[in-house]
Amino acid sequence: MTRPTRSKLLAVVALLALLAASYWLLRETGTLATILNEAALRDHITQLGVWGPLMVIGLMVLAIMVSPIPSAPIALAAGAAYGHVWGTLYVLLGAEIGALAAFGVARWLGGETLKRWFGERLSVGLMGSQNVLMGIVLVSRLLPFISFDIVSYAAGLTVLSSWRFAIATLVGIVPASFLLAHFGGEMATGESGRIMGSVLALGAITLIPVAVKFIRDRRRRPPT
């Protein structure tokens, strides 16, 4: 094992240990329970005053870097604390920074190693298509049941350029970020009719990629 390879391996171990330690610390100190409680998190954020937005951004980054931490309660709390526009902006900023951080870590730790193993074969077909990879990232951001964190790390192991990844991520997370912040704001008002409208809108956004794929498959299917 060469010295650079050993260094990368040690870096991977150190990163995993750091992420695991961060999760353990959040759980043991009760911070994770606060994050999972949207109302408690909103109150804590508002009490911080001008530092509140930085906490939202930092928590979003942490939620993406440390996969077991959910990001939805943070987005809901941001919307409840700062409203639709500013809440969405803080959530977007944190999610984008977190995604780029995960992408960069994966590329630095694993991308070069994969290239040494596979050589030019890594850039063949689907893995070498920038447009296809960008489309996959974009669609995955629109589907809430696909792990945001895993996609960010996995994309760093492909040949997708960082600027394409950043654009696809930003465009893909705008609808869900806005609706979650909007939903959090509506929950804070306590008006059930407006809350139901937000839930239906979020569900409609989720179904758009599924509907597009279904229509495309039907058009490609040969006539019987």
CB-based burial label for 137 (10 Å; 0-12, 13-18, 19+):
buried
* Residue 188 confidence (pLDDT): 65
Among 51-65, 106-120, 171-185, the minimum mean pLDDT is found in 106-120
Question: Above 60 in pLDDT, residue 18?
Answer: yes
Tell me the C-alpha distance between 78 and 76, whole Å. 5
Residues 193-212 have pLDDT tens digits of 444 444 455 555 555 555 55
Which of 35, 85, 200, 34 minimizes the C-alpha distance to 192? 200
Q: What is the pLDDT of residue 24?
A: 86
pLDDT at 60: 92
Average pLDDT over every residue of 45-51: 90
Residue 168 vs residue 197, higher pLDDT: 168
Question: Does residue 119 have a pLDDT over 80?
Answer: no
pLDDT for res 3: 66
- 164 confidence band (pLDDT: 50, 70, 90): very high
Distance in angstroms (rounded) separating the CA atoms of residues 121 and 200 = 45
What would the mean pLDDT of 79-87 be, rounded to a whole number?
89
Q: What percent of the chain has pLDDT over 90?
A: 19
- Domain extent at residue 181: 3-220
Residue 142 pLDDT: 82
C-alpha distances in Å from residue 163, one per residue of 4, 76, 149, 166, 167: 27, 28, 18, 5, 6
Amino acid letter, 138: L
Q: Are 52 and 45 in contact, with CB atoms under 8 Å apart?
A: yes
The pLDDT tens digits of the residues spanning 176-188 come to 888 888 778 777 6
Q: Taking the alpha carbons of 34, 43, 148, 210 in that order, is the dihedral positive or negative?
A: positive
Task: Decide if 184 contacts 80 (C-beta within 8 A).
Answer: yes
Helix, strand, or coil (residue 46): helix
Q: What angle do CA 62, 76, 43 make, to 5 degrees?
A: 85
Is the model's pTM score more than 0.85?
no
- What is d(CA 165, CA 173) in angstroms, rounded to the nearest whole number? 12
Higher pLDDT, 8 or 118: 8
Distance CA 41, CA 38 (A): 5
The residue ranking higher by pLDDT, 99 or 144, is 99
Number of independent structural domains in the chain: 1
204: Cβ–Cβ under 8 A, 6 or more apart, which residues? none
- Separation of alpha carbons 177 and 33, rounded Å: 22
